[in-house]
Structure 1
């Protein structure tokens, strides 16, 4: 069955009266597809305030400034040029994905559709790394490992899953591959796997006891 993907753009004009609270002079602009139409307005306003604004196109994205949960390279490409980032949108999923990738603790400002401006809390990053460390230690001691494979276009990595399964079995672990479209987190509790290796969307790493393949690469190659 063919799938038609349609961009859903918000027509709401985001209030910009709080942008003056940003003190940094070099700003990287990022957003999701819903609010990309607002980027030119925001860029112009920041430049009117004497700031230099940077945008870049990501690896998997179509537009400058656009980021995905699995591709924040639009931000990474300009990380060395900016002193702070400004994210247009809601929630902390995308800003957290960027914060985990940039090597320095550069401020990430969040501008919501209602014009509210706030600073993304660094403690969220610290909490995630603690969660990741706990999941990895759990993985080392767990014997039964589940491997998630998505059948969604662009996310299917069965070949990688089979490779991981073989490696884990050689190291004495029991590995099971689960193929699915939407990930049924509630149903996963029915299986006796307390740690899950994700080969689908990298954003699943934010779920408890989920690890991406890259997180266990040292173990697989040891």
Structure 2
């Protein structure tokens, strides 16, 4: 079955940032945005540059996107779903919502780090490992999953492959799995205490 991807963008929406909001930002930024806000991001970029803020780069993000930057990030979008994945990839994350700029509190990042650490400790002592694999384009990592399965079995783990287009966390209780290793969208690791992302265990 062929899949047709169509971009959805907000039209006729221009955000004029107040000086007091712009002053919350550092003098160097990486701009991240969800696709609906692409045109708005270009408008915001001009405002920031007019206020002597250097934009080092721009990138569209998804919940599973990887950002290569050491600069603070300003996320332009609605909600915090996309922001969660950025927390651990940048020194500081700001969110622009409804003309207001908010800095993500350090406490929020520490909570995520603590949760990830607990999931990793659970993985290390686990005997039965479930490898989560999606068939979605852009998130499918079958080769990585098979290589990881081979390496884990060499270490004495019992590894099972779970392949699906949509990963339903509610079904996890139906399987006697001690720890789940996610090769799909990294955001899944924030939804279940037994999930670790493959990036966190591949070098162990």
Alignment TM class, shorter chain as reference? 0.7 to 0.9
Query: What 5-or-longer segments of structure 2 have no aligned partner?
Result: none
Tell me how far apart the structure 2 counterparts of residues 27 and 171 of structure 1 sit (CA, whole Å): 43
The 3 A distance-change label for structure 1 pair 200 and 23 is closer
Counterparts of 1:10-89 in structure 2, within 5 Å, are 10-11=10-11, 12-17=13-18, 19-56=21-58, 65-73=59-67, 76-77=68-69, 79=70, 82=71, 84-89=72-77
Partner SS, residue 100 of structure 1: coil
Counterparts of 1:155-174 in structure 2, within 5 Å, are 155-174=139-158
Tell me how far apart the structure 1 counterparts of residues 25 and 89 of structure 2 sit (CA, whole Å): 23
Partner SS, residue 218 of structure 1: coil
Contact 1:87/1:109, CA 8 A, preserved across alignment: yes
- Between the two proteins, the alignment pairs up a number of residues equal to 201
Deviation, 1:177, is: 0.7
When the two structures are superposed, what TM-score results if normalisation uses the length of structure 2?
Answer: 0.87
Post-superposition CA distance 1:28-53 (Å, at most 9, x none): 22211110111122122222323223
Contact 1:96/1:124, CA 8 A, preserved across alignment: no
Post-superposition CA distance 1:92-122 (Å, at most 9, x none): 23233223123xx33x22111x222211112
Tell me how far apart the structure 2 counterparts of residues 97 and 142 of structure 1 sit (CA, whole Å): 25
Contact 1:135/1:211, CA 8 A, preserved across alignment: yes
Tell me how far apart the structure 2 counterparts of residues 72 and 153 of structure 1 sit (CA, whole Å): 16
